[in-house]
Amino acid sequence: MTGRGISRREFAKSAVAIGGTAALAACLDRGSASVPEGTDDPSTLPARQHAWNDALATDDAGNPRMPRHHVLLLLDYAGDGTPTDAHRERVETALRDLERAYAWHTEGLLFTLGYGPAYFERFESGPAGVDLPDPAALAPFEDPDFDTPDALLHLASDDERVVLEAEEALKGTRGTANDREMTASFEGIFNESDRRTGFVGAGLPADNQDVDGVPDSEPVPEESPLFMGFKSGFKGNQATEDRVTVESGPFADGTTQHLSKISLQLQQWYEQDSRDQRVSKMFCPAHAAEDRVEGVGENLGTDSGMDECPEDAVESGRRNGVVGHSQKMVSAREDDAPRILRRDFDSTDGGQAGLHFLSLQGSIADFVATREAMNGTDVAENAAVGQRVNNGILQYMTVERRGNYLVPPRSLRALPPASPN
Amino acid sequence: MNRRRFLAGAGLAGATALAGCGSLSSQSTRAPPLVEDRPDATYRPTHVEGMGMAGMAQAGDYMVGLTYSFPHRFWTVTGTTAEKVDIRSEDSLHLMATVWDPETEMVLPVSAGLSITVERDGETVADKPPWPMVSQNMGFHYGDNYALDGDGVYQLTVRVNGMSERRLGAFSGRFGEAAEATVDFDFRQSTLEQLSFEEFPDTQGERGAVDLMTMDMIPTSQAPAVSALPGTVLGTDKGSDAVYVASWLREAAFLDDGQSYLAVSVRTPYNRVPLPMLSLDGRVAVDGETAFEDALTAAVHPDIGYHYGAVVETDAAEPSVGVDVVAPPQVSRHEGYETAFLATPSFSF
């Protein structure tokens, strides 16, 4: 990747979005605090690549708080057919180098490396014991394109220098990471087919709202962690890491990952809907009527308060003419627990307000069922609620792309065979 | 594409554009003040505007017509509340889409909705799904105010989603698929400003409505006259200012032996604009026995139009029917409709 000249203004807005050595150089010049170093002993790290929660900071209410900066690299394996042992070894070495360089922590670096159905087609059969379907359209009103790379790398940190530097180190354009030597890289093993970036956390959406999809009136509240002006990812609305972990077979301690790229259209949301309408559509009409959501929802604590909304979203929607996004999601719970673990974040990729909806679940079927609940097709049937109008937040988003992946356990993260011994 | 201007017929016949005024666009963003004491019913608005043609195209089973006018104030509806949407200073026009069946020329209110992307020179200018709306002179359409980037040729891409409403008779098996079409729209501020703008200082706020437009190329949405409805009309009633017509069909191609069909057509007074996006419960009793008690399903039929209905397992000739409005029509409203159809009346036929 070649360095591109960037203005300070662009840098101030989106070093991670710009990426590359120039953005990193500008970032390193500016940063001062040191980044915590990692470990020389990989056995101290969790067996699950997706075991992030213990490494995350928490907010005042005790909800795990996502790292603030994210890079997603969609990667194609450079070789034909099945991967070679030499490539496996180099990928593993490069990842261990990163773990040596950065603490497995939100202030250091958290990452996962997953593999798509296209990768497993290189083998005689799909991943043993895991159903990993090709991505599909998941609503009658969406028409997404599909991501079919071999692999998906997710880098996350509270420190934007870290995601940029780790990315460059893996690409082989930088010989050190956090001042530790890189002894291997992905160069010649993976080719990048797409690069996506984003952020989540108070202040970042407001700072990055000068994009298509957000009106010029700069409506995103400073304290909001996401473009839509409300918190999400409450502990009580998230599956546990245990719940999303593959239980048995060679990929036990792995998880499945769904990534969708969603564009946001927030002019109507911010300039036409009232606060009450926004609360009704994001949470439920009762939350709006009772004034239960303060600001971005800091007062809600560790869940979105769905116990206080009518339980039957279909009946509530028929009666109220509007149904909340959170309200619909209740029906997707299994054994009264959510089925997916959201690790999504906002984006300004392509100058468009968006959301990289990354979620982890035991099986892609869990995601499909959850998305089906969000579609609210059952609510719209025989009701004043439209398929998108007054139906949660569907009116304000368009799913552009979808992709499915298997995130293997840490021990199998480097170009795994489909049927490990 | 066809860029000829479509000025209104009946409702605007004789209306003069405010020639020589020279401030039409500012006039539109400073629309006349709302009537102070609006009735909780359909009322004559402060003004009506003419309409220009932006283009039309076939998209799958659908025909789509795009028209425009001055930016409007309008009201979105959630539950029983109408929320006013003000005109922004940057708004260039009110863009409207009408979707219809080219065979019957029936306007189709598709609750799955549509989305419109406005592009110029490959750059996206606007991308949002317009609101389903009713207007006295335009009837049912999808519309919103859009900010364009001055005069020029814009590409308007409309994606119409597949209908989830029950499709009956000749509509069976049609309109199930989403489809997309793009038209070029040559927008000129000066052309927009030539559209008519007629005020009604003497009659504004009175109960009543301006007439539906008639257009050469685009059908307007109008429910069938009561006398034209197939089957037996069980009754007509009015609630929250909307007109409810219950009809009973004992014979129809979509019915099996021993079945009948209850159809409830809900329309505006005066203009018979169909009102979609209602929650309705229905009850049918025959000789004191309940034959049906459930939600009514939104449906379209070439002769009944847009309505709410249920197949009932009886061939009784004279059922007694009850209809409860569970939620009022969640369509957005142009001026003159924003205070009407917001309550939840019940009826017996």
Instruction: Give dist(CA B79, CA A389) in Å, integer.
Output: 12
Q: What are phi and psi of B139, to 5 degrees?
A: 70, -150
Give Cβ neighbours of residue B298 (< 8 Å, ≥ 6 apart).
A382, B111, B165, B166, B276, B277, B278, B306, B307, B308
Domain that holds residue A140: 8-201
Q: Do B79 and A285 count as a contact with CB atoms less than 8 A apart?
A: yes
Q: Do B277 and A285 count as a contact with CB atoms less than 8 A apart?
A: no
For A379, name the nearest residue in chain B, comparing CA atoms only.
B279
| Interchain contact A268–B (C-beta under 8 A) | yes
| Interchain contact A106–B (C-beta under 8 A) | no
Question: Token pair for residue B134?
Answer: 């009713």
Q: 3-class SS at B335?
A: coil
Instruction: Give dist(CA A405, CA A349) in Å, integer.
Output: 21
Q: Do B330 and A390 count as a contact with CB atoms less than 8 A apart?
A: yes
Under a CB-based contact definition with an 8 Å cutoff, are residues A307 and A288 in contact? no
Under a CB-based contact definition with an 8 Å cutoff, are residues A387 and A394 in contact? yes
- Distance (Å) from the C-alpha of residue A290 to the closest C-alpha of chain B? 15
Instruction: Give dist(CA A394, CA A282) in Å, integer.
Output: 10
Instruction: Give dist(CA A82, CA A96) in Å, integer.
Output: 22
- CA B69 to centroid of chain Cα atoms: 16
Question: What pLDDT score was predicted for residue A311?
Answer: 86
In A, which residues are within 8 Å of B131 by CB distance? 268, 389
Question: What pLDDT score was predicted for residue A294?
Answer: 94
- Check whether A112 has a pLDDT greater than 90: yes
Question: What pLDDT score was predicted for residue B28?
Answer: 46
* Average confidence (pLDDT) over A214-225: 95
Question: Token pair for residue B117?
Answer: 């992307």
Question: Token pair for residue A205?
Answer: 């959406």
A302 part of a folded domain: no
Under a CB-based contact definition with an 8 Å cutoff, are residues B231 and B314 in contact? no
Number of structural domains (chain A) is 1
Contacts with A, B 134-153, CB within 8 Å? 144
| Interchain contact A89–B (C-beta under 8 A) | no
Q: Which of A389, A394, A400 to mutate to test the interface with B (most CBs of B within 10 A)?
A: A389
A373 part of a folded domain: no
Q: Do B128 and A268 count as a contact with CB atoms less than 8 A apart?
A: yes
Instruction: Give dist(CA B291, CA B108) in Å, integer.
Output: 30
Q: Do B277 and A386 count as a contact with CB atoms less than 8 A apart?
A: yes
Instruction: Give dist(CA A371, CA A178) in Å, integer.
Output: 39
- Distance (Å) from the C-alpha of residue A216 to the closest C-alpha of chain B? 10
Q: What is the DSSP string of B157-199?
A: EEEEPPP-SEE-GGGTT-S-S-EEEEEEEEE-HHHHHTS-EEE
In B, which residues are within 8 Å of A318 by CB distance? 279, 295, 326-327
- Distance (Å) from the C-alpha of residue B112 to the closest C-alpha of chain A? 5
Domains of chain B: 10-199 (2.60.40.2480), 226-329 (2.60.40.2480)
* Average confidence (pLDDT) over A321-325: 96
| Lookup result for tokens 């419109």 | B116
- Check whether A341 has a pLDDT greater than 70: yes
A66 part of a folded domain: yes
Under a CB-based contact definition with an 8 Å cutoff, are residues B28 and B198 in contact? no
- Distance (Å) from the C-alpha of residue B78 to the closest C-alpha of chain A? 6
| Mean pLDDT across chain A | 93
Alpha helices (runs of H) in A105-225, residue ranges in sequence order: 117-120, 160-171, 204-207
Q: B260-277, pLDDT tens digit by residue? A: 999 999 999 999 999 999
Q: Do A267 and B128 count as a contact with CB atoms less than 8 A apart?
A: yes
Q: Do B113 and A387 count as a contact with CB atoms less than 8 A apart?
A: yes
Under a CB-based contact definition with an 8 Å cutoff, are residues B207 and B229 in contact? no
Between A and B, how many CB-CB pairs are < 8 A?
Answer: 119
Instruction: Give dist(CA B46, CA B334) in Å, integer.
Output: 11
- Check whether A344 has a pLDDT greater than 70: yes
- Distance (Å) from the C-alpha of residue B313 to the closest C-alpha of chain A? 19
Cross-chain CB nearest to A318 (options B112, B126, B279):
B279
Q: A266-315, pLDDT tens digit by residue? A: 999 999 999 999 999 999 999 999 999 999 999 999 999 998 999 899 99
Q: Do A140 and B80 count as a contact with CB atoms less than 8 A apart?
A: no
In B, which residues are within 8 Å of A271 by CB distance? 85, 88
A61 part of a folded domain: yes
* Average confidence (pLDDT) over A315-331: 94
* pLDDT tens, N- to C-terminus, chain B (349 residues): 333 333 333 333 333 333 333 333 444 455 899 999 999 999 999 999 999 999 999 999 999 999 999 999 999 999 999 999 999 999 999 999 999 999 999 999 988 899 999 999 988 999 999 999 999 999 999 999 999 999 999 999 999 999 999 999 999 999 999 999 999 999 999 999 999 999 999 999 999 999 999 888 899 999 999 999 999 999 999 999 999 999 999 999 999 999 999 999 999 999 999 999 999 999 999 999 999 999 999 999 999 999 999 999 999 998 999 999 999 999 999 999 999 999 999 999 9
A244 part of a folded domain: no
Starting at the edge strand found earlier in the chain, the sheet holding B93-100 runs B52-59, B62-69, B93-100, B139-146, B131-135, B332-334, B74-78, B81-85
Give Cβ neighbours of residue A243 (< 8 Å, ≥ 6 apart).
A337, A338, A339, A341, A362
A361 part of a folded domain: no
- Check whether A119 has a pLDDT greater than 60: yes
A80 part of a folded domain: yes
In B, which residues are within 8 Å of A388 by CB distance? 112-113, 129
Q: Do B78 and A387 count as a contact with CB atoms less than 8 A apart?
A: no
For B275, name the nearest residue in chain A, comparing CA atoms only.
A384
Q: Which of B330, B331, B341 to mutate to test the interface with A (most CBs of A within 10 A)?
A: B330
- Distance (Å) from the C-alpha of residue B146 to the closest C-alpha of chain A? 10
Residue with the bigger pLDDT between B27 and A258: it is A258
Provide the pLDDT confidence category of residue A13 given band limits of 50, 70 and 90: low
- Proportion of chain A above pLDDT 90, given as a percent: 87
Cross-chain CB nearest to B330 (options A268, A285, A386):
A386
| Interchain contact B178–A (C-beta under 8 A) | yes
Q: What are phi and psi of B345, to 5 degrees?
A: -75, 170
| Per-residue three-class SS string for B294-312 | EECEEEEECCCEEEEEEEE
Instruction: Give dist(CA A97, CA A363) in Å, integer.
Output: 30
Question: What pLDDT score was predicted for residue A24?
Answer: 86
| Interchain contact B174–A (C-beta under 8 A) | no
| Interchain contact B60–A (C-beta under 8 A) | no
pTM equals 0.91
In B, which residues are within 8 Å of A389 by CB distance? 111, 113, 129, 131-132, 277, 330
A45 part of a folded domain: yes
For A274, name the nearest residue in chain B, comparing CA atoms only.
B83
Cα dist from A214 to A400, B123, B177, whole Å: 17, 16, 30
Q: Do B161 and A141 count as a contact with CB atoms less than 8 A apart?
A: yes
